[in-house]
Structure formats: structure tokens, C-alpha cells
């Protein structure tokens, strides 16, 4: 066992041994290695013999060597254009070179409330709001759940009714899957779509504030635990890596999930919790609202972490916390969970993802911790 883990840590540095080669695809290489390692861990988890363990290790070596910028492809995708990740990037770049702005009145968001009977559809300008009907085993099925889109389909995780459940929206019905979470996920948990939406990262809860796991669409597998506690600390992408900031228990520590585990990034100037984190295409990350852990004061702040430096970019029109966000076109939509009058904001960004405008587009009538959001192109689940 010691030999195998030494091998993994040695191999994690292997791309660096090829530094003499010019490789233009280091991000793809990092993603490839991460997927190889996850496959190895999944393989080992299903083994019951040393022969099986050895086969898993051999498969890992083959997988890692074939990654862009590694032994078999030292110059990256130019050496192995048929590698699935290279092909995926080529296809994406040819069709979606940048995030295309969408007029707010053309945006449609399904908002699934903790009380399913209060769910609705809204336009991005807030002018058109219609009731939506979502079926589930019970009316509070999504209360204190967290959500992520995996392979284009909305999934909800944990929550009040069953803190280890995984459910998927099929049509207008939330269907519980046979797969289960490894750890309890509740109001202190966070979820994030990763690997271009092919998987979801689930982390933290009100008891084990460090644990994380990855759901791949069929099963959930444990991954690295965070260094610090991060109950209600959010999950977002910073430099295209999962990141989290702060905790309900009052600290400013921030960290990001790398190939070998969590590592520190610059601390946030304020100790907040219940905020929302949003990763931008330019590698920066926004932190919206939140609650001062020591005083309970709700915030209007819009913070940005960019190039390892925190800046307070602007303010929301009303304070908010324990809500949910969705990034569509060049606009971020934030739906408050707590603090009256429970605002709904749209944050418009420019071509370089600079802050342009903050609009208040609505309010909820009462607190609704962690609504579930899903972009749709039609009147999905609208009641007649």
C-alpha cells in the first residue's frame, strides 16, 4: 500500500519532468490526470484482492502516460489529437469561443422552492413569473438540499427529508436514484458542477465540515477532505478549480481543490458564511452577500478574488444570504434564501466579465433557504 501511494504522489509530479517540452495544454493535462486518479480510486474501492489492486495500478499508469503533456504526448494535443479530452476541447472551441450574452427577457429559470408547492418559472428581467408544478414523494423533498447539473440534467442532493438521497429531475418529477451519498448532506453542505458538467462535487455538512465526494452520474465516491471547516462556506470555481471560502464557525480561510488535495488561497478579508460563490470564465471568482459569522449581520457585498487578490467590486441592492445562483449568458442571477425582503438580483457583466450593473428583479415573500435553480428554454412544468 505504501508503495502504491508513493507511486501516486510521484506520478502527480510527472508532467513537470517534461518541462523541456513546450506544452500548450497543461489545463487539459491536469484534468486528464485528475480523471485517471479518480478512476484509480474507484477501481481500488471495488477490489477484494491484491491482483485486482495491481491491475488498477497498471491501468492508472497507462491512463496517466496517455494524458496530453505526459510521456506519450509530451507536446500536448498536437501529439495525440484523438485523445477524448483534446477532441472535446477542439469541438468546444470551434462552436463556443465565448459566453454569448442573452437578453434577460429571453432567459427562463425554473425555481424549485423548499416547499415544492411554491415553485415557479421566471424570466431574467423578473417581468414574467408563472407557477410551476413539480412532483416528488413529499412537498418538502428539496428543503435544505443542494443542487448541481450533471450531464445536462438537474440533480438534487441530501436535505431535510433524506440527507443521503440523490434525485434527478425527469420531466416535472423529482425521481430518487438508487445511488446514495457517502456522507450526510444538509443545510451546511455545498454542491458544484465540475469537469465541464460531467460530475458534481459535494462537500461539508453541519457535523463533518470538511468531507467531500464526487458524483459521476451513477455513483458517488469519496475524495479529499478540506483542510479547514467550511460549513456554509460555498463552492465555486477559482482558476477553473473548485474553491471554498469561510465557514459558519467564523474564519476567513479559503482553499482550492488541486490534484493532490486542498491547498490554501488568499484569505477573505471578512469572516462570512451563507454567501454564494460564482466562478467566471476569466478565472476569477465572485462572492455574493453572506452573513458575518461573529455578529449575524447580513451583507450586500460583491467581492472578487482575481489573480490571488480580493477586491470589493460593488454592492447588491439588498442584503442576502443562504440563497442560490445561476450564471446565464453574461448575467448572474441570485435568489435569496434569508433576510427580509428576500431579494432576487441580476448582476450583469461586460465582455471581460467586469461588473456593469446590479438590478433588483423581484423578492420572495418569506425565507426559502437554498432554492434549486435550473435554466430552461421553454415553459417547463408551468401550470395551466
Same domain, residue pair 113 and 73: no
Instruction: State which of 95, 123, 149 marks the end of a domain.
Output: 95
Residue 20 has pLDDT above 70, yes or no: no
Could you give phi then psi for residue 320, rounded to 5 degrees?
-160, 155
Predicted confidence at residue 309, as pLDDT, reads 98
Residue 320 has pLDDT above 80, yes or no: yes
Domain count, the chain: 2
Average pLDDT in the chain: 88
Predicted confidence at residue 87, as pLDDT, reads 53
Question: Residue 384 falls within a domain, yes or no?
Answer: no
Rounded to an integer, the average pLDDT of 185-213 is 95
Rounded to an integer, the average pLDDT of 275-288 is 97
Per-residue confidence at 47, pLDDT binned at 50, 70, 90? confident
Lowest mean pLDDT among 53-57, 162-166, 265-269: 53-57
Distance, in Å, from the CA atom of 32 to the CA atom of 61, rounded to the nearest integer, reads 12
Instruction: State which of 60, 95, 130 marks the end of a domain.
Output: 95
Rounded to an integer, the average pLDDT of 277-284 is 97
Same domain, residue pair 306 and 183: yes
Sign of CA pseudo-dihedral 252, 258, 263, 267? negative
Same domain, residue pair 84 and 183: no
Instruction: State which of 39, 63, 95 marks the end of a domain.
Output: 95
Predicted confidence at residue 375, as pLDDT, reads 96
- CA-nearest of 168, 165, 181 to 135 is 168
Rounded to an integer, the average pLDDT of 77-87 is 74
Between the CA atoms of 7, 224, 257 and 77, what dihedral angle is there, to the nearest 10 degrees?
A: 40
Report the CATH number at residue 267. 2.120.10.80
Predicted confidence at residue 110, as pLDDT, reads 98
Lowest mean pLDDT among 30-39, 65-74, 366-375: 30-39
Same domain, residue pair 36 and 160: no
Same domain, residue pair 126 and 90: no
Question: Residue 347 — left, alpha, or beta (φ > 0 → left; ψ -120 to 50 → alpha)?
Answer: beta
Residue 92 has pLDDT above 80, yes or no: no
Distance, in Å, from the CA atom of 345 to the CA atom of 111, rounded to the nearest integer, reads 14
Per-residue confidence at 52, pLDDT binned at 50, 70, 90? confident
Residue 301 has pLDDT above 50, yes or no: yes
Predicted confidence at residue 264, as pLDDT, reads 96
Question: Residue 383 falls within a domain, yes or no?
Answer: no
Predicted confidence at residue 260, as pLDDT, reads 84
Per-residue confidence at 89, pLDDT binned at 50, 70, 90? very low
Predicted confidence at residue 128, as pLDDT, reads 95
Residue 57 Cα distances to 7, 35, 47, angstroms: 9, 14, 11
Rounded to an integer, the average pLDDT of 127-136 is 96
Predicted confidence at residue 22, as pLDDT, reads 65
Same domain, residue pair 178 and 302: yes
Per-residue confidence at 135, pLDDT binned at 50, 70, 90? very high
Per-residue confidence at 70, pLDDT binned at 50, 70, 90? confident
Residue 121 has pLDDT above 90, yes or no: yes
Same domain, residue pair 227 and 265: yes
Per-residue confidence at 98, pLDDT binned at 50, 70, 90? low
Same domain, residue pair 68 and 142: no
Residue 322 has pLDDT above 80, yes or no: yes
Question: Residue 225 falls within a domain, yes or no?
Answer: yes
**Strand 285-288 relative to strand 299-306: parallel, antiparallel, unpaired?**
antiparallel
Same domain, residue pair 127 and 268: yes
Distance, in Å, from the CA atom of 303 to the CA atom of 254, rounded to the nearest integer, reads 13
Question: What residue numbers bound the domain in which 26 lies?
Answer: 2-95
Rounded to an integer, the average pLDDT of 192-204 is 96
Same domain, residue pair 28 and 45: yes
Predicted confidence at residue 53, as pLDDT, reads 82
Residue 314 has pLDDT above 80, yes or no: yes
Amino acid at each position: 500500500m505504501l508503495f502504491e501511494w508513493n507511486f501516486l504522489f510521484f506520478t502527480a509530479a510527472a508532467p513537470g519532468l517534461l518541462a523541456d517540452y513546450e506544452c500548450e495544454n497543461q489545463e487539459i493535462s491536469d484534468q486528464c490526470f485528475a480523471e485517471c486518479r479518480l478512476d484509480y480510486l474507484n477501481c481500488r474501492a471495488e477490489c477484494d484482492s491484491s491482483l485486482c489492486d495491481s491491475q488498477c495500478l497498471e491501468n492508472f499508469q497507462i491512463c496517466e502516460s496517455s494524458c496530453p503533456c505526459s510521456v506519450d504526448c509530451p507536446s500536448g494535443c498536437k501529439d495525440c489529437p484523438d485523445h477524448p479530452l483534446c477532441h472535446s476541447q477542439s469541438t468546444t472551441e470551434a462552436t463556443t469561443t465565448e459566453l454569448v450574452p442573452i437578453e434577460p427577457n429571453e432567459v427562463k429559470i425554473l425555481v424549485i422552492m423548499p416547499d415544492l408547492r411554491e415553485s415557479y418559472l421566471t424570466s431574467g428581467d423578473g417581468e414574467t413569473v408563472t407557477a410551476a408544478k413539480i412532483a416528488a414523494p413529499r412537498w418538502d423533498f428539496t428543503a435544505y438540499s443542494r443542487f448541481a447539473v450533471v450531464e445536462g440534467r438537474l440533480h438534487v442532493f441530501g436535505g431535510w427529508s433524506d440527507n443521503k438521497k440523490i434525485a434527478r429531475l425527469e420531466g416535472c418529477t423529482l425521481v430518487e436514484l438508487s445511488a446514495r451519498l457517502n456522507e450526510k448532506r444538509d443545510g451546511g453542505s455545498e454542491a458544484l458542477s465540475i469537469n465541464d458538467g460531467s460530475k458534481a462535487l459535494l462537500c461539508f455538512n453541519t457535523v463533518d465540515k470538511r468531507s467531500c465526494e464526487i458524483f459521476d452520474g451513477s455513483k458517488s465516491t469519496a475524495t479529499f477532505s478540506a483542510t479547514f471547516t467550511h460549513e456554509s462556506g460555498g463552492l465555486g470555481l477559482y482558476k477553473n478549480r473548485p474553491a471554498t471560502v469561510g465557514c459558519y464557525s467564523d474564519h476567513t480561510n479559503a482553499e482550492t481543490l488541486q490534484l493532490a488535495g486542498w491547498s490554501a488561497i488568499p484569505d477573505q478579508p471578512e469572516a462570512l458564511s451563507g454567501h454564494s460563490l460564482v466562478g467566471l470564465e476569466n478565472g476569477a471568482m465572485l462572492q455574493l452577500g453572506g452573513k458575518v459569522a461573529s455578529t449575524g449581520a447580513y451583507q450586500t457585498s460583491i467581492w472578487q478574488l482575481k489573480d490571488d487578490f480580493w477586491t470589493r467590486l460593488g454592492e447588491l441592492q439588498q442584503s442576502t444570504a443562504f440563497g442560490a445562483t445561476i450564471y446565464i449568458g453574461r448575467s448572474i442571477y441570485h435568489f435569496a434564501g434569508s433576510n427580509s425582503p428576500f431579494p432576487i438580483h441580476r448582476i450583469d457583466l461586460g465582455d471581460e466579465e467586469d461588473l456593469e450593473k446590479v438590478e433588483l428583479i423581484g423578492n420572495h415573500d418569506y425565507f426559502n433557504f437554498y432554492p434549486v435553480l435550473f435554466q430552461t428554454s421553454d415553459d417547463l412544468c408551468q401550470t395551466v
